[in-house]
A and B are shown apart, each in its own frame.
Chain A
């Protein structure tokens, strides 16, 4: 093991060596949290042809532990993910955690600090009696908590505003669900999948107008891991890596009111924040026209409306136009221009602690040609996103089949 910082001062190329995901289900009663994490870590190492000693540092992806009732449960998992004796820390940025964890692992390799880093995490939110109650606690206790805001109700308010502005209908949102549940049929790990109709979505129970049950992600349990390496490690373990060619991440203000007013820097109902992280991410990756240059977008979309918002803010189409292009089949995996969530996305599986990591894995697999039944032809560039807080944190990662080193301006 080579742990000493090489410190060349030249940023290292960083590539995905291998990844692993379990199936996502409501519960995994056959294993404990730490056994879930171990399954992912061992699975990723097996896929990479690596042994524990080949992993120099470990980043644990874990969102609020209030869901499971074990504080800092990452530490419980240290032995199980083969991290004892190694550099190890936990990243936690709410729903954005998985993407942030990948960015942290990327920094450790790109800086030359470590050659090989594993990002791993597990989630069992399905065992939480009421996740929305826990998520109500993230809001300000004086002004917002009693409204009562939760992720369901706050996204419903965003959707209402967005739909009113752009003439988007509930049926437009339902078409996203139909497409992604169909995509998920090819994903062996997806929690929700199947052939459903717009009418099925419209007939599902109303949770918070306009969000109906089928517009909302499931509470998924499962685990995932990804191994990143520098050029030397890629040479030794992977002939077809997915290079991380760009990262972008941004945090907005906590206060929702400040994101609604005309003077807001980023409008919450449009998820304007995503445009900021995308601009930085694409700049680093040297991408100027995402619609033409990106073949796959794995978007963090726990609600049907969130995919549209990101497609628009990331620059795949103009504001308010994503629904119309959905109607034209532009986001379809078969015959579309940009394949959006071939995995089914977060709408079909949402293990919160690792959802952003899963998006990165599904995007990287498309570039590496290891997406199995989901694999699309000719994927050279794929993007993955993650969103956390109440649309307060957004991050994005560009994966490419060739390394791009964009000169700093």
Chain B
């Protein structure tokens, strides 16, 4: 059994393609404030804060200097991972489970509109061999799409159909961006960006932020008036090789590892999950993850996933919030009936080099 760690509150910032009306610190503050209010706790009660943020995306070195306090980390134990918001959630769970902490906030954000994501991703390439090739996010995603399409036999028609389906689900999600819904033909006719990726296959980047309040069982027993929204039943993360060869890409090793370990911790199989919120930078990714996680149809990303909102770095934590909303019966128009167990997935790095899976359980109130 996993040590008892619970989600007490959750919040998403209203997403948009460009959030020009607020500064980065306002974006973070509003979301943290909303999560604390949702949990019914104050900033002063927090004994730890875990951030998931990238300097390069934020456009400044040590961006947590500016953003720790808006995230509630004033005179608190604060740390930061740069991989993803979902990775930060994993570390936050470990901190609570260590027995050294009792009440924490996890915060992640991405203001993709204020940076040049392709240049950031290009700078991720090592300078000797990969960078001169012109590697960036688009090309890496395309290499992944090629590999998994070949491995799993994903036709272009499926990629187009999945993109339209994701946009349709996203359109029902009040927390998502109101993107126009294309037709399958329009996706199929959209410009090729890097073979086999067309513009219509790619989830548009957006600005956004996500926060979760997590608490130990000890804390909850001392505060019986605070009711948890979900229990963290399993967390796992793994990384693949830096290589971008076909074997690495098509094997999806870290995704499989994170998936199986999180489920094992939770003591359940994938069949037991009512919904799985998957981070899919493109519809080819959704096709691949649906197969590897054996999760498709109504239970796959009811929120619309990255096609609802796709803030760099924090899209996985957005998925975790969406999963918590489903478990607590607060997902609104995208609420699925009877959700008791949910998984949130995140991927990051070149061609999804890193993968995170978090399994959450509700009390059945949904």
Q: Given A4-B265, A78-B242, A92-B80, verify A64-B94 contact (CB < 8 Å).
A: no
Q: Say which residue of A34, A91, A254, A265 sits within 8 Å of B65 (CB atoms).
A: A254
A112 touches B61 (CB 8 A): no
Q: Does B167 contact A (CB under 8 A)?
A: no
Output the nearest chain A residue to B47 by Cβ-Cβ distance. Answer: A280
Q: Does B56 contact A (CB under 8 A)?
A: yes
| Surface stretch bound by B, among A184-192, A244-252, A322-330 | A244-252
Output the nearest chain A residue to B66 by Cβ-Cβ distance. Answer: A254
A9 touches B81 (CB 8 A): no
A72 touches B54 (CB 8 A): yes
Q: Given the complex of chains A and B, what is the CA–CA distance between A63 and B4 in angstroms?
A: 32
Q: Given the complex of chains A and B, what is the CA–CA distance between A182 and B58 in angstroms?
A: 42
Q: Given the complex of chains A and B, what is the CA–CA distance between A110 and B293 in angstroms?
A: 30
Q: Given A5-B265, A85-B254, A113-B97, verify A90-B242 contact (CB < 8 Å).
A: no
Q: Does A103 contact B (CB under 8 A)?
A: yes
A89 touches B353 (CB 8 A): no
Which residues of the other chain, A, contact B201 by a CB distance below 8 angstroms?
none
- Chain A residues numbered 248-264 whose CB sits less than 8 Å from any CB in chain B: 248-254
B interface, how many residues as a size bin? 35 or more
Q: Given A4-B264, A111-B98, A251-B68, verify A71-B73 contact (CB < 8 Å).
A: no
Which residues of the other chain, B, contact A107 by a CB distance below 8 angstroms?
91, 94-95, 98, 100
B60 touches A138 (CB 8 A): yes
A249 touches B261 (CB 8 A): no
Q: Given the complex of chains A and B, what is the CA–CA distance between A3 and B95 in angstroms?
A: 17
* Interface residues as binary, B247-279 with A (CB distance below 8 Å gives 1, 0 otherwise): 000000110010001001100000000000000
Q: Does B238 contact A (CB under 8 A)?
A: yes
A251 touches B78 (CB 8 A): yes
Q: Does B237 contact A (CB under 8 A)?
A: yes
Q: Given A85-B257, A247-B100, A408-B99, verify A70-B78 contact (CB < 8 Å).
A: no
Q: Does A137 contact B (CB under 8 A)?
A: yes
A interface, how many residues as a size bin? 35 or more
* Interface residues as binary, B337-352 with A (CB distance below 8 Å gives 1, 0 otherwise): 0000000000001100
Q: Given the complex of chains A and B, what is the CA–CA distance between A389 and B62 in angstroms?
A: 7
A65 touches B100 (CB 8 A): no
Which residues of the other chain, A, contact B98 by a CB distance below 8 angstroms?
11, 106-107, 110-111
Q: Given the complex of chains A and B, what is the CA–CA distance between A132 and B209 in angstroms?
A: 31
- Chain B residues numbered 317-357 whose CB sits less than 8 Å from any CB in chain A: 349-350, 353-354
A112 touches B3 (CB 8 A): yes
Q: Given the complex of chains A and B, what is the CA–CA distance between A166 and B82 in angstroms?
A: 40
Output the nearest chain A residue to B68 by Cβ-Cβ distance. Answer: A251
Q: Given the complex of chains A and B, what is the CA–CA distance between A103 and B83 in angstroms?
A: 17
Q: Does B183 contact A (CB under 8 A)?
A: no
Which residues of the other chain, A, contact B96 by a CB distance below 8 angstroms?
111
Q: Does A382 contact B (CB under 8 A)?
A: no
Q: Given A4-B261, A85-B253, verify A389-B65 contact (CB < 8 Å).
A: yes
Q: Given A110-B100, A254-B66, A392-B65, verify A76-B79 contact (CB < 8 Å).
A: no
Q: Given A107-B98, A112-B97, A140-B66, verify A276-B75 contact (CB < 8 Å).
A: yes
Q: Say which residue of A5, A87, A138 sits within 8 Å of B237 (CB atoms).
A: A87
B79 touches A103 (CB 8 A): yes
**7 smallest A-B Cβ distances: which pairs?**
A111-B97, A64-B61, A11-B99, A251-B78, A71-B123, A110-B98, A94-B62
The contact sample of 22 A-B pairs, CB cut-off 8 A, is A3-B261, A69-B127, A70-B127, A75-B124, A76-B242, A83-B239, A86-B239, A88-B237, A88-B238, A91-B79, A91-B80, A93-B80, A100-B79, A103-B79, A107-B91, A108-B91, A111-B95, A137-B61, A138-B60, A251-B68, A254-B68, A390-B65
Q: Knowing that A87-B239, A251-B75 touch, tell me 11 more A-B residue pairs with CB under 8 angstroms.
A: A7-B1, A75-B349, A75-B353, A76-B242, A84-B242, A89-B83, A108-B91, A111-B96, A254-B69, A265-B75, A393-B78
Residues of B within 8 A of A (CB): 1-4, 49, 54-56, 60-62, 64-66, 68-69, 73-83, 87, 90-91, 93-100, 120-121, 123-128, 234, 236-243, 253-254, 257, 261, 264-265, 349-350, 353-354
